[in-house]
Amino acid sequence: MPTAGFTLSEHLKNTPAAVRPTVKAAIQTVKKAAPKAEEITYRSKPPRSRSAMYKIARYALDGVNVVGVGAFTGHSALFFYRGRELDDGSGLLHGSGKDSRFVTLRSPADAGRPAIRSLVRKAFKLAKQPPT
């Protein structure tokens, strides 16, 4: 089991104040969707660049990463480790990496949108299936 160097509360203190409420809302959305998921904080430090993501925590089932929460200076993001496989009828997922995709959150209300909550639930259901 991975160990982390920083607690969630330490990461939240280091998160830019402007996006901290959005990060907290994103975390709550994930925890409501998967209350038994393992919360693993990253060993990252706040980035020195405005364009770098500050990775805060990831959530896993049976040791498999499902979704992560990160922050930039002006917004937050949920990133889905198997995002390429998610059925995203909402068009919210972005990215062109091999597997992962992300959703940009600009306010705490964004994290509670039904389409976002649905994506998080789908990601945890997908985690119970073998990768394609």
pLDDT digits (tens, 9 = 90+) for 66-112: 999 999 989 999 999 999 999 778 889 999 889 999 999 999 999 99
* Structural domain range at position 23: 8-127
Residue 82 lies in a domain: yes
| pLDDT recorded at residue 69 | 97
In eight-state DSSP terms, residue 94 is B
**β pairing state of 54-61 and 101-105:** unpaired
Q: Structural domain tally of the chain?
A: 1
Residue 132 lies in a domain: no
Statement: residue 6 has pLDDT above 90:
no
Rounded Cα distance, 14 and 65, in Å: 23
Identify the burial level of 57 via C-beta atoms within 10 angstroms of its C-beta, where 0-12 means exposed, 13-18 middle and 19 or more buried.
buried
Q: Would you say the pTM of this structure is higher than 0.75?
A: yes
